A and B are shown apart, each in its own frame.
Chain A
Amino acid sequence: MLNILVCVKQVPDVNLVKIDPVTGSLIRKGVPAILNPLDANALEAAVQTKEQYGGTVTCITMGPDQAAEALRECLAAGADKAILLSDRAFANADTLATSYVITSAAKLFGSFDLIFCGKESLDGATGQMGSQLAERFDASQLSSMSLLLAVDEAGKTVTAERELEKGVETAEAKLPCLFTVEKTNYRPRIPNLKSWKASRTAEITTLNSLSIPGLDPAQIGDPGSPTKVPRTYPPVVGESGHMIDEGSTEKNVDTLFELIADVL
């Protein structure tokens, strides 16, 4: 029986985030929070693995209380257990502090054979969590995993395909192994009514910094994050280019071709 972990994140749908034209700050109001789309692929890979080899899928996230909604989405789509790590003290964490909290908490639920992560998050998009979680779980890692071929529980190995820059690699890794998952073969399923309903009322284990024994306050949240964001600013944009407005598309296009003649 495989003990499988899926690490997920709830993110704002950044495509819908707007910038206040006056203050230059982000307008997050009314922007829906969604399960990070690539995490849904990771979950699907985990659930398919469970269905083939047997086991349990636990999903875990760190975030505010509302992030429970992302976990319910995972439960609806086949996860068995859900863990929410929520505490103000976790806020402003970078990947180092986040990976510390997640692994510290996950270890309370046993040791995991396989760990699945999305390739990157829609908002932070650092793509570092997979590596750092693998480090803290002391697991082997196969990134850009596109197809899990076989799990050998007796031999404690897993074989999978990876989509690399110039081709597909078949690799073998020792358990425990962490994957970051490509979406190619793992389109998220649509839950059926029964599992969706179960997910709406399922218990979600919620932990805070005090309910994770031995958690070092210096390694969590802002104090535990070596990277800082001292400032943000709106992108600097230059003056407008030369706008072609000759009155009709045909004339505009003619003019354009005259202007770019030397480039062509």
Chain B
Amino acid sequence: MPDYNKLTPALAEKLRAIVGERRFFCGDAVKEDYSHDEMPIYGRTMPEAVCQVETTEEVSEIMKLCSAERIPVTVRGAGTGLVGGCVPIHGGIVVTTEKMNKILSYDMKNLVVHTQPGVLLCDLAADALAHGLMYPPDPGEKTATVGGNVSTNAGGMRAVKYGVTRDYVLAMTVVLPDGRIMKLGKTVCKTSSGYSLLHLMIGSEGTLGIITELTLKLVPKPIMDVSLILPFANIADAIASVPSIKLANLDPQSIEFMERDIVDSSAAFTGNGVFPTVVNGKEAGAYILVTLVGDSEAQLTEKMDRLGAVAEQVGAYDVLVVWTDNLKKDVWAARSAFLTVIEAETKLLDEMDVVVPVDRIAEFLVYTHDEAEKQGVYVRSFGHAGDGNLHIYCCSNDLEEDEFKRRVKRLMDACYAKCTEFEGQVSGEHSIGHAKKEYLRESVGETAYGLMGAIKDVFDPGHILNPGKVCHTV
């Protein structure tokens, strides 16, 4: 049904009337930022107009109008995505939730927070901590919006212990493509009540409805935590340690892996060289970073002892204890800078966010590196060793764009095929957008892909919401 209409001046005026002069932009007034996310290699498309919405009712009015007039609508949070999910590839308007950035209220008895979708993850996390609570999902991109996190079912570092964003969404308000407002879910933790439309919405990347309010589950903030760095000779040794660490009954909050080369770059870029490069006289080639939580120092010490025993068996050079606030700040700042560093050091970037079974991470990385060498692509990686979620970045360095894209395509075709062979997933937390559609299709198969398309049809018969994404092709 690719018969979308262009935004006419008359329609623009109607949109302007809905959100008001100050929050409506069209034509030249639209900022270039709205044409891409953080992975501009997948192309840029300027929206015909941008509405900075503030209320559910505004969104509803916009959807009614755009449904009737067949104008595509793409919802956008902070634009920190990596698969082109918020890029209006078929034109139309962008509805941005950046002004819906208020944390509405806490229900301290039921440990939930009501929030607008445009609140930044870092702001929610800090605010929850100030209330003595923790919002467990901890994706690396702290300036993403929570709405964006829910739409992509973001994971992050703490997923190995706490699960992913999906596990913390209790309820939401959604505006359907025709403008109807719907409340999904309740402020309770159990439900056995029909198909879960709530869970269909989570991870649907703005293709089924627009989330305008969220009720999220919180947990009491852990009493104590400690991070431990295990340096290894090389990445294979580092990854090989993960199953043993997981078996040691430590209930770790996160298990991250990082290669030496990215640690060096991060140190050079931020001036923060907190990770030791020579440990007990030996050059470290890779690191595992484990975070443990506990109720007391005695309990944590006992866990650290067990981790120490495992570390010795698996050939870690040492176990370094990040105990003080000063060191924690430095270590996590260095870790958080990885993507920034990679972006800064290359002209063009493409990425894979695959998930493979934990026992096959090392094999997959070796395969990827071999294949990358064959194709002549410079690859850097880090990620969540605890749950098998790998972030693999392909850097162009001096390659011309076309040549880079050709090489990356060949590399990715091979890697995603290997991922499917390993019973892995195309994306752990960055989603599909329009960049990974074909790989999703190959991975899940025609039947499942077809069902996804059918579900899209039911929610959005006019195909006006975020067209061309996930399972939809115009």
Binding site for B on A (CB under 8 A): 13, 32, 34-35, 37, 40, 73, 76, 187-193, 196-197, 200, 247-248, 250
Contacts and interface: CB of A to CB of B under 8 A. Distances in A.
Nearest to B317: A192
Nearest to A16: B325
Contact of B308 (A35, A188, A193): A193
Contacts of B325: 13, 32, 34
Given A187-B273, A187-B274, A188-B327, A248 B29 contact: yes
14 contacts: A34-B324, A73-B323, A76-B321, A188-B326, A188-B327, A189-B276, A190-B320, A190-B321, A190-B327, A192-B318, A196-B321, A197-B305, A200-B297, A247-B22
B314 interface: no
Interface centre among A35, A76, A193 (most CB of B within 10 A): A193
B122 to A, nearest CB: 16
Nearest to A248: B22
B456 to A, nearest CB: 34
B326 A193 contact: no
Contacts of A248: 22, 25, 29
A197 B305 CA distance: 9
B276 A34 contact: no
B459 to A, nearest CB: 33
A193 B304 contact: yes
A247 B274 CA distance: 43
A190 B274 CA distance: 8
Contacts of B22: 247-248
B25 A193 contact: no
A96 to B, nearest CB: 28
Interface string B200-231: 00000000000000000000000000001100
Contacts of B274: 187, 190
A197 B320 CA distance: 11
B323 A76 contact: yes
B301 interface: yes
A248 B22 CA distance: 7
Given A187-B273, A190-B276, A193-B228, A35 B324 contact: yes
Contacts of A34: 324-326
Contacts of B304: 193, 197
Given A190-B274, A193-B305, A193-B318, 17 more contacts: A37-B326, A190-B320, A190-B322, A190-B327, A192-B318, A193-B228, A193-B304, A193-B320, A193-B321, A196-B323, A197-B304, A197-B305, A200-B297, A200-B301, A247-B22, A248-B25, A250-B31
B296 to A, nearest CB: 12
Interface residues on B, range: 20 to 34
Contact of B324 (A73, A192, A193, A247): A73
A37 B329 CA distance: 12
Contacts of A191: 320-321, 323
Contacts of B305: 193, 197
Interface in B215-270: 228-229
B319 interface: yes
Contacts of A189: 276
A246 B29 CA distance: 14
Q: Closest 3 A-B residue pairs measured CB to CB?
A: A247-B22, A196-B321, A193-B319
Interface string B164-206: 0000000000000000000000000000000000000000000
Contact of B21 (A13, A73, A247): A247
Contacts of B324: 34-35, 73
Contacts of A187: 273-274
A146 to B, nearest CB: 15
A7 B320 CA distance: 25
A247 B20 CA distance: 10
A38 to B, nearest CB: 11
Nearest to A247: B22
Nearest to B322: A190
A34 B326 CA distance: 7
B129 to A, nearest CB: 11
Nearest to B229: A190
A192 B327 CA distance: 13
Nearest to A201: B301
Contacts of A37: 326
A188 B275 CA distance: 11
A188 B331 CA distance: 12
Contacts of A250: 29, 31
A189 B326 CA distance: 11
A32 B325 CA distance: 8
Contacts of B308: 193
A108 B156 CA distance: 53
Interface in B303-338: 304-305, 308, 318-327, 331
Contact of A197 (B21, B301, B322): B301
Contacts of B276: 189-190
Contacts of A193: 228, 304-305, 308, 318-321
A40 B326 contact: yes
Nearest to A30: B130
A218 B79 CA distance: 64
A251 to B, nearest CB: 9
A171 B25 CA distance: 64
A187 B276 CA distance: 10
Contacts of A200: 297, 301
A240 B398 CA distance: 50
A122 to B, nearest CB: 10
Contacts of A73: 323-324
Interface in B1-53: 21-22, 25, 29, 31
Contacts of B331: 190
A106 B22 CA distance: 67
